[in-house]
Amino acid sequence: MPDKFQLRNFSETDVNDLFFDSLKEDYPDFTQWYKRKVDAGSKAYVFKDENGLGAFIYLKDENDSIELSDRVLPAAPRLKIGTLKLAEHHHGQRLGEGALGLALWQWQEKRVPEVYITLYEKHTMLVSLIKRFGFNFIGVKNNGESVYIKSRKDVDYSDPYKSFPFIDPTFKKAGYIIVDDLYHDTLFPRSELKNVPYSEVNTAAANGISKVYVGANISPHYCKREPVLIYRKHTKNDGQKPKFKSCLTSYCVVTDIIFIKKYGKFLMTYDKLKDKVGNKSVFDEQDIRNKYNTEKNVVVIQMLYYGYFGEGNNVNYDWLERNGYWADPEVYPTDVRLSPAQFKEILEEGRVDVQNTIID
């Protein structure tokens, strides 16, 4: 199926595809290496769209030393991003962000201390991307490749991109973002729901982990670096009780709050708003234009998609209400402020390993 990452055998992808030409230029033995991976039955994450191969990610478990030109890093359990390649038509787009996010989720699940990547500095866009996500330059190998490492023991919580996928343990509160089901399933496709086939999800905005919500709250309580829970609001008239179908599916961390309009006064042009939102929003262009023109207050909440509960683990409204996690009828849900303890308890109900998500 196109338009999503799939774990595939190396043998299912043609090494002669033009997609791999730049790797062959960088690594003369790339074809031989690839054939060895085919023979070993190795797998990689592959993204395909209407233009063919869009991304290829190979991850490798290691417990070896790393030889640099001036020293040797001691052997340690690490996840190596052996290959992270994007097609040229995806450079500068959000597929690279999604690809790296996928690799970092795998690193988190494996619980190994470090993840690293080697690459040539001429690949400036990839270098910029990994730096943004908290990888630190360690040194240069004898073949001229730079080595960048990210460690669980030294997470930079000053920036949600750098700390991804680990939540800052010093956060003071959390909240809810309410998203109608149709929009939700476009923007958060990995938050699988029972009886919602992946093939029905439009993944046009789903390949990155940067998300944007456009709201009308004059004074949202969300703050940068704070977590928020994504609530999928059931709106279909299908005879199912909303209290059992509406649910929390995933969690994000706020990266910015941008006020667009206050008390009817425009603080930003529509073109600048559209540039801020891009294809990261749950709303289409017409929805955004309508909000811009008609709402008295407009605020953009930028987030990073940190994790999801997964099929069968989503936390429904009925559970939230029975356990006192939902709002008083007089308080709109987006105004609810959850304590760190409440947020962690909700994650646990969603079968999230809190000790592997919020780390010191």
User: What average pLDDT does the segment 235-243 reach?
Assistant: 64
Listed range (13-22, 208-217, 258-267) with the worst mean pLDDT:
208-217
Residue 277 main-chain phi, psi, to 5 deg: -80, -45
Q: Thinking of the domain 5-154, which architecture would CATH place it in? A: 3-Layer(aba) Sandwich (3.40)
Q: Is the pLDDT of residue 188 over 90?
A: no
Strands 78-86 and 72-73: unpaired
Q: Is the pLDDT of residue 4 over 80?
A: no
Listed range (2-6, 92-96, 184-188, 199-203) with the worst mean pLDDT:
199-203
What integer pLDDT is reported at residue 241 of this predicted model? 59
Name residues whose C-beta falls within 8 Å of residue 248's C-beta, 6 or more positions apart in sequence: 176, 229, 230, 231, 232, 309, 314, 315, 316, 320, 346, 350
What integer pLDDT is reported at residue 297 of this predicted model? 92
What integer pLDDT is reported at residue 18 of this predicted model? 93
User: What is the percentage of the chain residues whose pLDDT exceeds 70?
Assistant: 88
Q: Is the pLDDT of residue 205 over 70?
A: no
The pTM (predicted TM-score) of the whole model is 0.89
Q: Assign 209 a pLDDT band (cuts: 50, 70, 90).
A: confident
Contact 139, 70 (CB under 8 A): yes
What integer pLDDT is reported at residue 106 of this predicted model? 92
What integer pLDDT is reported at residue 198 of this predicted model? 37
What integer pLDDT is reported at residue 248 of this predicted model? 92
What integer pLDDT is reported at residue 5 of this predicted model? 81
Tell me the range of 204-213, 218-227, 309-318 where mean pLDDT is highest. Answer: 218-227
What integer pLDDT is reported at residue 286 of this predicted model? 86
What integer pLDDT is reported at residue 175 of this predicted model? 94
Which residue is associated with the tokens 């991109």?
A: 161
Residue 235 main-chain phi, psi, to 5 deg: -115, -10
Give per-residue pLDDT as tens, 86-121: 887 665 567 888 889 989 999 999 999 999 999 999
What integer pLDDT is reported at residue 93 of this predicted model? 64
Q: Is the pLDDT of residue 287 over 50?
A: yes
Domain boundaries, the chain: 5-154, 175-353
Q: Is the pLDDT of residue 238 over 70?
A: no
* Mean of the per-residue pLDDT values of the chain: 87
What integer pLDDT is reported at residue 191 of this predicted model? 53
Listed range (164-168, 276-280, 291-295, 313-317) with the worst mean pLDDT:
276-280
Q: Assign 34 a pLDDT band (cuts: 50, 70, 90).
A: very high
145 or 189, which is more confident: 145
What integer pLDDT is reported at residue 182 of this predicted model? 74
